Amino acid sequence: MPRLNPGNLHRARDLVALYPEPRSALIPILHVLQEQDGYLTEDGMAHVAELLGLAAAEVRGTASFYDMFHFEPVGKYLVAVCTNIACMLQGAYRLLEHAEERLGVAPGGTTTDGLFTLEDAECLALCGNAPCVTVNWRFFGDVDLQGFDDLVGDLRAGRLDDEVPPHGTLSRVDRSVGLAAPQAASGSSGATVGSGSPGDGPRSHAQPDLGTHRSTAATASMNAGHLDGRR
């Protein structure tokens, strides 16, 4: 489905309503599009451009800056093996070779059953549990050769479906709070979403609480110490 389906179009409208300017919703909406199709189609990006009042080239140019977005079909599971310094010292290259043998594809390739795409990744920021692997951006640390085989087996059998959704799904919880969208004055014009306004009508959102709250025992102790020092 190259364009956003009705449900995701509604999600896109809700995302636009979270921001003061419609174009600020570009990246979140691109993630919705990638969740829908598994990658960013040209027609889908053109649709997003229409929704936000942008040129299609602006949408593609922004998306191409980020390596989380894909422009060709990938597997249900995007498996990335980190080969940066901490993981390299813990055997990441051997792990990557093993992954190639286990899946039968080189980095950048997708298995014939369409389940797995393999990637050689830069630092995945789990250095304390090297070597690490991500599957659809979910982290798995201290992965040895047997651990990788077990991970692949669990994914194939669906035992990790609650933990690892199909590629493109960043979060199963929709965002529901943000900056209040500006209310358009009567007769004003702006970027359109579908056939209506960015939110297809006025929307109201609670203002987020941006204050800092310290509630743990450790921070309470710190606060008490600061107060003692001021006496």
CATH 3.40.50.1400 for the 77-157 domain, yes or no: no
State residue 109's pLDDT score: 96
State residue 171's pLDDT score: 80
Checking 158-166 for CB contacts under 8 A at 24+ apart, the result is 160/135, 163/138, 164/77, 164/135, 164/136, 164/138, 165/136, 166/38, 166/76, 166/77, 166/136
Split at pLDDT 50, 70, 90, the class of 73 is: very high
Average per-residue pLDDT in the chain? 83
State residue 201's pLDDT score: 44
Q: Where in the chain is the domain with CATH 1.10.10.1590?
A: 1-74+190-206
State residue 60's pLDDT score: 96
The stretch 3-32 carries a mean pLDDT of: 93
Task: Judge whether residue 27 has pLDDT over 80.
Answer: yes
Residues forming beta bridges with residue 81, ordered by sequence position: 120, 133
Split at pLDDT 50, 70, 90, the class of 140 is: very high
Q: Where in the chain is the domain with CATH 3.40.30.10?
A: 77-157
| Annotation: CATH topology of 1-74+190-206 | Arc Repressor Mutant, subunit A (1.10.10)
Give rounded-to-5 percent helix, strand, coil for the chain.
Answer: 40, 10, 50
- The CA distance from 104 to 54, in Å, is 41
Residues in the chain: 231
Task: Judge whether residue 190 has pLDDT over 60.
Answer: no
- The CA distance from 15 to 171, in Å, is 14
